[in-house]
Amino acid sequence: MSEGKILIVDDNESNLEIMAMYIESEFDNETILGSSSVDGIEAVKENPEIDIVISDYYMPGGDGGQLYQWLKENRPDIPFLLVCGENQDVVEKLPELSGLFSGDFSPLVSKPFKKEELLEKMKLVMNKELIKVIDGYKRISIDRFLTFNKCFVGAHLKIGDNKMLKVVNKDDEISEELIYNIVVKGVKYLYIEENEYESFMDSAMSEVMEKLATRDGDETEKVKLQMDSVESIHEGLRYVGMGERAIELAHGVVESTLNTIKSNKKISSILKTILKKDNYIYELSLLTCYISTAIANETEWATTETYKKLSYASLMQDVSLKSNDLAKICKKTDKAFEQLKPEEKQLVLSHPLKSCEVVEGLGELSPDVRNIIWEHHERPNGDGFPRGLNKSKIGTLSCIFILSHEFAHRLLTEPITHELLESIHGDLDKNYSSGNFKKPHEALKRAFNR
């Protein structure tokens, strides 16, 4: 049997964790994780004993097609399994995947993936047998055991080919001393008895959806709750009509941008004040980023640089505002604007420019990001602010952003129903389908399957 390693590549941390848990539960082979084609290529170079590569397709740091092409040219002996939300008839036409679907069976695992399909496809594409976990047990990495063991299942150490030593009893708290003694010995995995593993996995899988599962409400409320989380926002977008490919791409852009921001102390410290979960500014920033990336992907300006500009603008658009109520005012004609005090009106009208000043102070962002932020409250008929530009004067990327901002704002401030979606699209058709908005509006309809 093979003693090789299994490489799993996905920029979505949750998908990566779930695939790793599925595979580790059944096989004793070491798993290596990566988040882009660059990570995958480096892992193969450093670990020539890798027996199979399992990769997502849409990843902003280098997609699965690039990884497959490199393997095809440099390590054609390594089987490749593609994980993707698109149908096979779509992805097999992609030039970078040429040759992948020429065999007797499909190397595609469809999203949302199921454990049985993933493991079955692994067996089909591999020409070696993997090492099965000892009968009666499931394997889990120590890190994931500590993260997800909310139901307090027991755990064992493997001390021989068929020997286990129980180190954690069911319902026991895990002492720091025990963890230290395990880790210092270089142990990476624990083993859970098969009859307890299902409870463990139920606990792990329900953690992300805990908020949704414990609330009563109709489908509208469920979708709204789903939009409150980075991990599951794509479920809400799928509900309102965004295609799977667009969702995956946009998610990758969000992850990449947030990771870049975390590495920049200057930007990160500023955004910490507004990017707090469960508030309107946070949700608007996130949702605008998803929608604008999806729209841009359907245009002639679909480049990584464009996605990056739109995502930064999404996160920085309201950086000068601290009030969620003020951020919700999108137009001077809004009733809420008329009821504001003079100083509050001035805050609303000046915040695009104020946010631009913050961006300029950072010194590292593109001038295009500044322009998008400056124009994000302009409107086609010229009644926007701060400059009253019309549809022939507003920049193309700003038009994409304004459409996304309008869509996101309404999804977050009105009950999500079929009637609302028809109303949004009707208003966009009426007001945003000419001038510099024409191509972005057509792209929005394609992104939302209209």
DSSP reduced 3-state for 109: strand
| Residue (of 427, 230, 405, 416) closest to 327 by Cα position | 405
The two beta strands, 108-110 and 80-84, are parallel
> Which residues, in sequence order, are CB contacts of 344 under 8 Å at separation 6+?
326
| Residue (of 39, 128, 121, 147) closest to 78 by Cα position | 128
| Residue (of 254, 265, 255) closest to 362 by Cα position | 265
The per-residue pLDDT for 320 is 86
Total count of residues recorded for the chain: 450
Handedness of CA 353, 357, 358, 364 (dihedral sign): positive
Question: Cα–Cα distance between 58 and 286 in angstroms, integer?
Answer: 19
| Residue (of 430, 426, 431, 425) closest to 444 by Cα position | 425
Q: What is the pLDDT along the chain (450 residues), one digit of tens a residue?
A: 557 899 999 987 778 888 999 999 999 999 999 988 899 999 999 999 999 999 998 877 678 889 999 999 999 999 999 998 777 877 888 888 889 998 888 899 987 778 888 999 999 999 888 899 999 999 998 878 877 766 678 888 888 888 888 888 887 766 667 766 776 677 788 999 998 888 888 777 766 444 334 434 444 443 333 344 444 566 677 777 887 777 778 877 877 777 666 666 666 666 655 555 457 888 888 889 999 999 999 999 988 889 889 998 998 899 888 788 999 999 898 899 999 999 999 999 999 998 888 877 766 668 899 999 999 999 999 999 999 999 999 999 999 999 999 999 998 888 878 888 899 999 999 999 999 999 999 999 998 887
User: Per the structure block, which two tokens stand in for 164?
Assistant: 């286990």
Q: Which domains does the chain have, with CATH numbers?
A: 5-125 (3.40.50.2300), 137-207 (no CATH), 211-447 (1.10.3210.10)
CB 362 within 8 A of CB 355: no
Question: Cα–Cα distance between 200 and 210 in angstroms, integer?
Answer: 15
Alpha-carbon Rg for the chain in angstroms: 25
The per-residue pLDDT for 273 is 55
User: Per the structure block, which two tokens stand in for 116?
Assistant: 């049985």
Which residue carries 């609303």 as its tokens? 348
CB 165 within 8 A of CB 117: no
CB 400 within 8 A of CB 439: no
Give the side-chain half-sphere CA count within 13 A for 359.
25
Which residue carries 């964790």 as its tokens? 17
The per-residue pLDDT for 221 is 40
Give the side-chain half-sphere CA count within 13 A for 126.
20
CB 2 within 8 A of CB 50: no
Question: ω into residue 95 within 30 of 0, thus cis?
Answer: no
The per-residue pLDDT for 145 is 82
The per-residue pLDDT for 95 is 84
Question: Cα–Cα distance between 207 and 396 in angstroms, integer?
Answer: 41
Report how many helices (DSSP H) and strands (DSSP E) the chain contains, helices first: 22, 9
- Give the helix ranges, DSSP H, for 272-394: 280-296, 304-316, 324-327, 335-338, 342-362, 367-375
SS3 letters across 61-102? CCCHHHHHHHHHHHCCCCCEEEEECCCHHHHCCCHHHCCCCC
Question: ω into residue 107 within 30 of 0, thus cis?
Answer: no
User: Per the structure block, which two tokens stand in for 321?
Assistant: 């505002």
CB 377 within 8 A of CB 332: no
The per-residue pLDDT for 217 is 41
The per-residue pLDDT for 428 is 95
The per-residue pLDDT for 275 is 54
CB 331 within 8 A of CB 388: no
Question: Cα–Cα distance between 149 and 141 in angstroms, integer?
Answer: 11
Start-to-end CA distance of the chain, whole Å, equals 51
- Give the helix ranges, DSSP H, for 98-141: 115-125
The per-residue pLDDT for 427 is 95
The per-residue pLDDT for 364 is 60
Give the amino acid at 395: G
The per-residue pLDDT for 321 is 86
